[in-house]
Chains A and B, each alone.
Chain A
Amino acid sequence: MREIAESSTLLIILAIIASLVLSGVLILFADEAFRTALPYFFSRPADTFHAMADALGTAYKAIWQGAIYNGGAATFAAKIAPFMATLTAATPLIFAGLGIGIGFRAGMFNIGAQGQLLIGATLGAMVGFMWHLPFPLHLILAVVGCALGGAVWGFIPGILKARTGAHEVIVTIMLNYIALNLVGYLLSLEAFQRPGSDNPQSPAVDVNAQYPKLFGDQYSLSLAFVLALVAAVFTWWLMERSTLGFQFRAVGANPSAARTAGMKVPRVTVIVMVVAGAMSGLAASAQILGTQTSLTTGIAGSIGFDAITVALLGASRPFGIVLAAILFGGLKAAGPTLQVNAGLPIDIVLVIQSLIVLFIAAPPLIRFLFRLPTPRIVKEVTA
């Protein structure tokens, strides 16, 4: 597990390449023109190649246009809109990915980001629409509410593991279900519904509690993105420079040695889960106080699970997680364009994401594909 969570940069890049190539093949077979031309390959090979180039060109162009830069748009502002959308989609993934990455490095496999997001969003939403306060204060309290909600939902598996040894994977998975149904139940209460509606949707949070947009209303990119970058820098400091992070890493790498050195392993376990939960809660804030503004059971989307992939892809390192989140944000942003411009099913994005994970989870496969040597442990020459 640890090996996967901290794979080398080279392996990750190769995994991305391998998955893009393999999904290219899938794109080809999803393309009508290519499928028509293929049977005539030997009589008219040019047709096949033409269809091939066409299909791949359209697909990759759609990804580029949907995620980074739309050259066809009228104004510069519109041209860079896709990239803004990418960063917006990346924001919650950065937060949640950081939380999961911290867990990985401390030896905790936290599958519960989804539940932590939901509870964080719920608490943040309550602060957001139940209270009415002036601008910076209301936002700050709502953000704190999100973090607190996530932290509480992280604390539960943490304390259970520390006290009873209950495995965090099982507990967090179950807590995801509990959180989802808890939110569903709350939304059925009158206090959580919009006046005059019985849809399972809360009132919108006050504008004062929402993240201000960074470049005006033309883009949805908000202050949350800046906060996510700050969180990444903070996480780096926490893990690499603080005594607390030193304990996290020691417990993650060798709990027996950490214990013998006087560290309190159960206590560290709880703190790690609280910090990870708070990060997931902040991811929820990017949704509830940013792009969504009202609580639904779908508020967390698949962020909590995508974030696991992001953390793996980022090798549990803050900088890597930011890059991985932007990659995934880009794929997400490109989805609609792929569907409209290239006529591809939106699921192809999911396939690409899944292939990346698959390749990362199987380092020997990548080594085999690219004929890399097997890693070996070279011992220092004994004196």
Chain B
Amino acid sequence: MKLELRGITKRFGDFTANDSIDLVIESGTVHALLGENGAGKSTLMNVLFGLYDPDGGEILIDDKPVDFDGPGDAMAAGIAMVHQHFMLVHPFTVAENVMLGHEQVKGPFRLLNIDSAREKVREISARFGFNVDPDAVVADLSVGAQQRVEIIKALSQRAEVLILDEPTAVLTPQETDELLEIVRQLRASGTAIVLITHKLREVQAIADTITVIRRGKVVGTAEPTASQEQLASLMVGRAVLMKVDKKQATPGEVMLTVEDLTVIDDIGVVHLNDVSFEVRAGEIFAIAGVQGNGQTELTEALLGGVVPKAGKAVLDGKQITGLTISEVLESGIGFVPEDRTEDGLVSAFTIANNIILDQYNKAPYSKRGALQPSVIEEAANTAVEQFDIRTTSIFLTAGSLSGGNQQKVVLARELSRPLKLLIASNPTRGLDVGSIEFVHKRIIQERDGGAAVIIVSSELDEVVALADRIAVMYHGQIVGIVPPDTSRDTLGLMMAGAHTMEDAA
């Protein structure tokens, strides 16, 4: 099967999300669609998947024009998509999820034929070595396994074109390797795969064809042999420094001491188990680990959002555990939450109001309970300028900004006051290359300015690039603290729970 997009154009009002894009996808190949966030990749795939009506251009299958009126049509034509956010029903079993939307019935009472779905799961699972139990409840599966369920779902509908939207965003390095292996097998079996991503390493590892999209246009195609620098500069439109440029750290006094910190929730689940570490002024202490291994609880406990069952944290000689969040922020901690849209910003507020979200009751932004609009405006304009926040006005809502610019708003707010400690969780998640570069630069500036920095990240690239020391968390514990030149394999194994470096080696 050959799938062709010809001159696809999609506009939203004045904004052209896709500008006459041409794309040819052939069986048995991996076609990487590379571009920054907001470049128009997802819009294009939504057009292909029948979710949006294009304003121009056509879709051809085997040189015959087709018209998709919705995902149903696209699926019937053999196109399947694995969304970045999985579309699975959590309380259902794997087989039930696979059957969803294509339920088969049997017998006079038209009972659901779950056995045929089970069989299908077993068959596909065996063919590709997925190792997925058809009767497992999806909620109990790891993220990687859930993704395989999505792929099984697609394959069970005999998909000939499989679109993977940012498939590795949620995976551990090992899971990523496994996924790439699966993609290779699918390719070998004749499936066409469209890989939407902004991760250059994966593109280089697996793509047969690379199409780069920038601002809604195809700006070029590249060979898989192209260097990361070449791909990045195509994507961003200028030369990009791939390695974070930082000087050797000059650690000073111990700024933060965490002792035996333990967090247990209401139902008795231990999220953080006896965690102890120190962070010095002027160093970046990175906490690596697969999401959900206690990192969130650790940062929440430091911030004052959850009360630890035991242990304490001391910032510059002053105990911070037991303080309220506002007191913790007051004591000199800057906090960049892992979910910026949920915890970092009020999307419905203006950019200006988000810039002062945790400073609104302090001078000079307010006087005797009254906000000072002109002061706030001035501060916001300064922040927009200093942090290169791309917007036409500080009075637009934060929700109207792209992810990268939203994150810059959060950073601008947190870095606008003198800090003793900066805690940033996944500071570059979902950001494009240009924004990542900027965010990293600011974090290093903060370190060089003498602040202690804690970076929590599930992206090894980021951890390795920024860290002066790396702690790996697994099941609520720190399994080891290692230097930044530790090999990726070792780190990956530690993230999977290998306790010591000897175990990992």
Contacts and interface: CB of A to CB of B under 8 A. Distances in A.
A257 B369 contact: no
Contacts of B111: none
Interface stretch (A75-83, A186-194, A248-256, A320-328): A248-256
Contact of B402 (A241, A261, A380): A380
B318 interface: no
A242 B327 CA distance: 21
A249 B400 CA distance: 18
A380 B358 CA distance: 25
Interface string A113-142: 000000000000000000000000000000
B13 A378 contact: yes
Interface residues of B, number: 50
Given A250-B349, A257-B346, A262-B329, A382 B361 contact: no
Nearest to B373: A241
Interface string B321-361: 00011111110000101000011111111000100011011
Contact of A259 (B325, B360, B361, B370): B325
B360 A243 contact: yes
A242 B370 CA distance: 4
Contacts of A381: 15, 38, 215, 390, 402
A250 B355 CA distance: 13
Interface string A211-244: 0000000000000000000000000000001111
Contacts of B345: 254, 257
A254 B400 contact: no
A126 B366 CA distance: 40
B36 A382 contact: yes
B401 A380 contact: yes
A263 to B, nearest CB: 7
B357 A250 contact: yes
B369 A253 contact: no
A378 B12 contact: yes
Instruction: Select the residue from B303, B346, B347 with max chain A CB neighbours within 10 A.
Output: B346
Contacts of B39: 382
Q: What size tier do the contact residues of chain A reach?
A: 20 to 34
Contacts of B303: 260
A314 to B, nearest CB: 18
A383 interface: yes
Given A246-B353, A378-B13, A379-B400, A260 B370 contact: no
Interface in B26-42: 36-39
A261 B357 contact: yes
Given A260-B343, A378-B15, A380-B400, A243 B37 contact: no
A240 to B, nearest CB: 8
A242 B346 contact: no
A382 B325 contact: no
Contact of A376 (B13, B360, B366, B390): B13
Contacts of B396: 380
Contact of A382 (B37, B326, B357, B369): B37
10 contacts: A241-B373, A243-B361, A243-B366, A256-B342, A262-B330, A262-B358, A378-B13, A378-B400, A380-B400, A383-B402
Interface of A: 241-244, 246-247, 249-250, 253-254, 256-264, 376-383
Interface of B: 12-13, 15, 36-39, 215, 303, 305, 324-330, 335, 337, 342-349, 353, 357-358, 360-361, 366, 369-371, 373, 390-392, 396, 399-402, 404-405, 432, 434-435
